[in-house]
Amino acid sequence: MPILLRNLLKSIFLSAVLCACAVQQTATLISLVPVEDSAAVTLSSPLELQLRTGYHRTLKQGSSWTRIGSVPQGDVYKPYRDVFTIEGAHVHEAYLVVDKGMLVGFYLPAERGYADLGQRKPIFFQ
Amino acid sequence: MKLLKFAVIGAVIALTGCAASGPKFSAMQASTPAVNADQGRVYFYRKDSMFGAALQPAVVMDGAEVGKSQPGGYFYVDAASGSHEASTSTEATNKVSFVLEKGEVKYVRTAPSIGLLVGRVVPELVNADEANKELNDLSYTGKAK
């Protein structure tokens, strides 16, 4: 089978598999407690994320984030002059949720929900 | 195998179509009104590409049709601050959810992707720097001014 055709079939299969997984989020609305100090911080090293839906995201080294508040799961960081999304069956704008130096999940501002990362990833800001 | 090849070629041909025509983004900027203070703005656009060009679904925002995903085209929608959802539907519905703040401008790019039967057009959020580079050569497909 030609490589192009094989890749096409793989893409179709992958598309079907990935599209089936919705982003799992909290059933109840999450209250974001805003903070006043909102100086931007910079990510010291890149961070590769494997989402529970099967999709990947990379947080770029040098990307800027602003701590805008907190939710019960941790502090919430919004991308500074940028956008960040997570993806499952649909795409959701998302902010990072960091607990004690570990990325634990995402705050979904449009849904006012929380989506767990499924693991704790060390994250370093400067 | 030959049948499969023909099916793929046929699908590619079927998915090609015409690009949007109209005034370019760069020319429209001067006549584009500023965003109202109590609203935000969402630009919807699609890069000019032959791939999937025949797929031109409606763009729906918060349940109302606001335009069409056309290759090489863009339009914008002013909306109240708060949560919003935009979607396109072909063989499946793809959605993007986001928040809009007062005076904020957000950018949603729609792009064709491979689907199970006829393909999909997927909306995604794009940052302003990237969007402004891509918008420059696109044609306005919104309401006539």
pLDDT in tens, A16-75: 555 558 888 887 899 999 998 778 999 999 999 999 888 999 999 999 999 999 999 999
| Domain, as residue range, for A33 | 3-122
Domain count of the fold of chain A:
1
**In-domain check, residue B113:** yes
Asked if A91 lies within 8 A of B5 by C-beta distance, the reply is no
Core vs surface per residue A48-72: b (16+ CB within 10 A) or e: ebebbbebebebeeebbbbbbbbbe
pLDDT at B50: 86
Q: For residue B89, which of B66, B62, B55, B117 has the smallest C-alpha distance? A: B55
- Mean pLDDT across the stretch B118-144? 92
Distance between A100 CA and the closest CA of chain B, angstroms = 27
Q: Which of B94, B114, B122 has its CB closest to that of A11? A: B114
Burial of B30 (0-12, 13-18, 19+ CB in 10 A): exposed
For chains A and B, count residue pairs whose Cβ atoms are closer than 8 Å: 61
Query: Using a CB-CB distance cutoff of 8 angstroms, which residues of chain B are in contact with residue A83?
Result: 98, 106, 125-127
pLDDT at A12: 55
Query: Using a CB-CB distance cutoff of 8 angstroms, which residues of chain B are in contact with residue A1?
Result: 1
- Mean pLDDT across the stretch A89-97? 95
Asked if A85 lies within 8 A of B128 by C-beta distance, the reply is no
By CA distance, what is B82's nearest residue in A? A110
Count Cβ atoms below 10 Å from residue A99 Cβ, excluding itself: 16
**In-domain check, residue B50:** yes
**In-domain check, residue B145:** no
Q: Which of residues 41-80 of A touch B (CB under 8 A)?
A: none
E strands in B1-145: 39-45, 58-61, 64-68, 73-80, 82-89, 93-100, 105-113, 120-126, 139-140
Q: Where is pLDDT greater, at B6 or B102?
A: B102
pLDDT surpasses 90 at A5:
no
Rg (CA), chain B: 16
pLDDT at A22: 85
| Domain, as residue range, for B128 | 2-140
**In-domain check, residue B21:** yes
Distance between A34 CA and the closest CA of chain B, angstroms = 15
Asked if A90 lies within 8 A of B95 by C-beta distance, the reply is yes
pLDDT surpasses 90 at B118:
no
Asked if B114 lies within 8 A of A108 by C-beta distance, the reply is no
Percent of chain A with pLDDT over 90: 65
Query: Using a CB-CB distance cutoff of 8 angstroms, which residues of chain B are in contact with residue A12?
Result: 114-116
pLDDT surpasses 80 at B53:
yes
CA A4 → CA A9, B6, B53, B110, B125, distances in Å?
A: 9, 14, 20, 25, 29
This prediction's pTM: 0.83
Percent of chain A with pLDDT over 70: 84
Interface mutation target, options B44, B81, B93, B98, chain A, most CBs of A under 10 Å: B98
Asked if B98 lies within 8 A of A1 by C-beta distance, the reply is no
**In-domain check, residue B86:** yes
- Mean pLDDT across the stretch B89-101? 94
Quote the mean pLDDT of chain A.
Answer: 88
Domain count of the fold of chain B:
1
